[in-house]
Structure 1
């Protein structure tokens, strides 16, 4: 189990992580979500003592990471797959870690096989593709056969087969009773993987709930109905005291995803033909956008919509076509803020 208590990190005037308190429990996959700049990477680094908190604490199975003997046997993490010695082979990258944590050398071959890198075990990692590097990073995390695993963007660079593999791997690890904590911006994949969600914005905890609960609490659910007998249908639901709205495409919407069965029975009683009767609910992405709308730090605007930029106080008057750059701007590129 991972336990955070009042975890806080300040960089000068910037409060990156703001008194986070939550637990990551065993036996399930916990997704860690938040907009860019929300503090996710900083939080994960503090979990591993790579950054010192300004206040608060993190405990791994009741201990600070720095107090763990042979930490790879407690917690395995993938934070940056590029953080490896490019001049060493995949095998020797892992062997060095194994020796530092008194892990048998035989385990190196096992995890290389698990991640599908046996055929390139003796090749230098600097020649690896993004996906191969990601697999090696996952092998790092698995090396000590730990009870707790942390993955930051684990599907980055993986092909469809690799994405399917890592999804099933994480589910298998959770089914074994291990603690699995995963951060990702790929909402469609998170929706297929996570059981529980921790959502933060601007360093603050926004949600600590189940996947189903998060979507239910941050989205609208309704039943969509299509019928060739609209007037009869309106009369039937009106007589039953139900509130119904007509959409521009001719369909009807009735609030509540659990209303499908009552509406179907009502239509049957009044002999109304239905061409569609389907519960509708927002996706994880839609629910996430709804919850974090006020917590997004980096706002982008359509270049073809100067009104949007003007609303944000960032619009400049349009330049004349083929006009030279203003003095002092020759060769300047965009300046980007750091994401998270």
Structure 2
């Protein structure tokens, strides 16, 4: 288990991580979300002792990463896909990691096969595509067969088959009772993968709850209806104290309505319904709602054009700041 206690990191005048305290549970995939500049990458680096906290602490199974004698047997991580010596082959890269952590050499071929790189095991990594580098990074994380795994943007550069593979891999690892902590900007993919969410903004903890509860608490629900008798439906809804909003396609949405109640109301008044369905916001919509006040960088308002005459986004970090993901 990963545990953070009042974890804080300051770079000069910039407070990148501000008093984070949470646990990453076992047996589920935990998504780590936040806008650009929220402090996600800094937090992950502190978990691995690559950055030292200004205050607070982080432990892995009760110990700081730096005191683990064979850390790859405790936690495997993918933070930067291209963090491999370009002159080393995939096999040799994994071999030296295995030897440094007293992992059997046979494990190298096992993980190469698992991630689909057996055919390029003897090729130098300088010629690898981003997707191949991602697979090699995932192989490195799996090398010590650890109980804790941490991935930062694991689907970058992967094709659809590779995305499906890593999604199923993470779910399978969690099903084995392992701790799986994954950061991603792809909300659609996170919605299909994560069971639990930790959300931060401007270095502060915003949410630590299940995926279902996160969406429920940060979005509106509605009931969508479609009928050939709109006037009768609106009269019935008004009589029941409900308000319907017309959609552009001829449907109506009743905010915070109860599906069964609206169906019974229509039946009582002899109203034919062509559609009666619940409407729930997506993870992306819920995320945007929660983090609206935590976004550091905003697109421009269209006041200016670039040198090519195209409208574009204007990025304006605060003076003296650098982006910390």
3-state DSSP of counterpart to 2:188 = helix
Partner of residue 278, structure 1: 277
The runs of at least 4 consecutive aligned structure 1 residues that moved more than 4 Å come to 318-322, 334-337
Q: Distance in 2 between matches of 1:146 and 1:284?
A: 30
Provide structure 1 residue ranges, at least 5 long, that are not aligned to the other structure: 307-314, 323-333
Q: CA deviation at 1:339?
A: 5.3
Partner of residue 254, structure 1: 254
Q: Are 2:297 and 1:301 equivalent residues in the alignment? A: no
Q: TM-score, normalised by structure 2?
A: 0.93
The within-5 A match list for 1:126-275 is 126-256=126-256, 259-275=258-274
Provide structure 2 residue ranges, at least 5 long, that are not aligned to the other structure: 310-314
The superposition leaves residues 9-28 of structure 1 with CA deviations (integer Å, 9 ceiling, x where unpaired) of 00111000000000001000
Backbone CA RMSD of aligned residues: 2.0
The superposition leaves residues 95-154 of structure 1 with CA deviations (integer Å, 9 ceiling, x where unpaired) of 000000000000000000000000000101111011000000000000000000000000
Q: Distance in 1 between matches of 2:262 and 2:290?
A: 30
3-state DSSP of counterpart to 1:291 = helix
The superposition leaves residues 289-334 of structure 1 with CA deviations (integer Å, 9 ceiling, x where unpaired) of 11111111111225xx21xxxxxxxx7xx89999xxxxxxxxxxx9
Q: CA deviation at 1:230?
A: 1.2
The within-5 A match list for 1:53-132 is 53-132=53-132
The superposition leaves residues 253-279 of structure 1 with CA deviations (integer Å, 9 ceiling, x where unpaired) of 21226x122211221222111122111
Larger Rg belongs to: 1
The within-5 A match list for 1:39-54 is 39-54=39-54
Q: TM-score, normalised by structure 1?
A: 0.89
| Paired residue total | 316
The superposition leaves residues 218-272 of structure 1 with CA deviations (integer Å, 9 ceiling, x where unpaired) of 1111001111111211222233333333345432221226x12221122122211
Partner of residue 338, structure 1: 323
* C-alpha distance 319-214 of structure 1, shift in aligned 2 (>3 A): closer
